[in-house]
Structure 1
Amino acid sequence: MKKIIKGTPDRPRLYIFRSNKHIYGQIIDDTRNKILITRSSLSVKENNQVTGHANCNTSKTIGKLIAQACIDKGIQKIVFDRGKHIYHGRIKALAESARKAGIEF
């Protein structure tokens, strides 16, 4: 049985989705069913911050951007939800980058 991870207004949930080509991160408040912040390798690619597909370097950039947006909105603590993926590679790079930028989870 899978444990259900829920975010609260005090600690919203950071959900990571990884496809073969891209990686997405969303800050979600589950009590109101609202997506507060979203960043992806697609949006970073449009702004010419990275080239190519999602790799560990792109994931680090996404994590840093998510953390900056959280801090701008006053969010310091989050709940981490990696979905069905293991904590390795691109998922790990994004999470560690967000931690370095000042988000606690």
Structure 2
Amino acid sequence: MKTQSQTKRLQRRRRRKRMHVRRVLRIKLERPRLTVFRSCKQIYCQIIDDLAGVTLVSSSSRDKDLRDSLGKKKKSQVAAEVGKTVAAKAKEKGIGPVRFDRGSYKYHGRVKALAEAAREGGLQF
């Protein structure tokens, strides 16, 4: 069990990592940003236009069309399906090159599976 000071320290570290990644990504503002959020059970991703401050496309493992087809798949397989879905939606809207914002997460596991599936679906980053 973690104490409150340990939890706060972890939260500060995550926030610092996330802001560092965002600072690096601010260089290429002309491209929309593909952000990833993962919880213990679900994974969410959005393509955001930072200049306009608008979400262009979003997909998650909680979407109704995905929820029925996922069944009892593993978390990384679910993340790959979400990546394919967001790539297909982006293709419909004519979105090509994006910046990948992994947040404070390592490029490993579910985040990596989502990114690779989005690349296979036609997104460039």
Would the TM-score normalized by the shorter structure come out above 0.5?
yes
1:35 and 1:103 map into 2 onto residues whose CA distance is: 16
Does structure 2 retain, via aligned residues, the 8 Å contact 1:22–1:54?
no
Q: Name the residue aligned to 2:118.
A: 98
Q: Secondary structure at the match of 1:84?
A: coil
Q: Distance in 1 between matches of 2:71 and 2:53?
A: 33
Which of 21, 40, 43 is matched with 1:20 structurally?
40
Matched, 1:76 2:96: yes
Task: Write the distance in 2 (CA, Å) between the matches of 1:53 and 1:64.
Answer: 15
Unaligned regions of 5+ residues in structure 2, if any?
A: 1-15
Corresponding position of 1:42: 62
Output the TM-score relative to the length of structure 2: 0.75
CA-to-aligned-CA distance 1:6-43 (integer Å, 9 cap, x gap): 464x5200000011010000000011110111100011
* Structure 1 stretches of at least 4 aligned residues deviating more than 4 Å after TM superposition: none
> Would you say 1:89 and 2:109 are equivalent positions?
yes
RMSD between superposed Cα atoms in Å: 1.7
Higher-Rg structure is: 2
**Distance across 2 between alignment mates of 1:33 and 1:50:** 31
- The yes-or-no answer on 1:55 pairing with 2:50 is no
TM-score, structure 1 normalization? 0.89
| 2:64 corresponds to 1:64 | no
Structure 2 partner of 1:32? 52
- Unaligned runs of 5+ residues in structure 1 are none
Residues 39-86 of structure 1, C-alpha deviation per residue, up to 9 Å, x if partnerless?
0001121xx121258601111100000101111111110000000000
